Amino acid sequence: MLLPIDLGLFLALTAGMGCTLILGVWFWYDRREALLNDPRRIRSAFVCTRCGQTYLRPRLREEAPCPGCGWNNVRLKF
Ligand SMILES: [Zn+2]
């Protein structure tokens, strides 16, 4: 059995749920983009040309010394 409901109330509830959904998706994508573009997540990879050790350094940088032998290596580019 269907319950009688006021048309104005029905439209207000439907519009409210639609606005809530849009704001929720907007907030979710905003947070997701902020997390993906967090500069703390970006690391640079290096392979030492002297001893062959692979290592990572935080942030985007072009050169970093090898932790094993101290040789200054250039960042790997993919
Ligand atoms: Zn090295």
* Main-chain dihedrals φ then ψ at residue 73, nearest 5 degrees: -115, 160
In three-state secondary structure terms, 43 is: strand
The predicted pLDDT at position 35 comes to 87
Q: How far apart are the C-alpha atoms of 56 and 46, rounded to whole Å?
A: 6
24 C-alpha to ligand 1 centroid (Å) = 49
Range scoring the smallest mean pLDDT among 14-18, 35-39, 44-48, 53-57 = 35-39
| Contacts with 35 (C-beta within 8 Å, 6 or more apart), sequence order | 41
Tokens describing residue 46: 């290096």
Please give the distance, rounded to the nearest whole angstrom, from the Cα atom of residue 57 to the centre of ligand 1. 14
The model's pTM is 0.52
Q: How far is the CA of 46 from the centre of ligand 1 (A)?
A: 10
CA–centroid distance, residue 76 to ligand 1 (Å) = 14
Q: And the tokens for 12?
A: 């207000």
Work out the average pLDDT over 47-72.
93
Reported as a single tens digit per residue, the pLDDT across 41-59 is 888 999 999 999 999 998 8
The domain ranges of the chain are 1-38, 43-74
**Cα 58 to ligand 1 centroid, rounded to whole Å:** 18
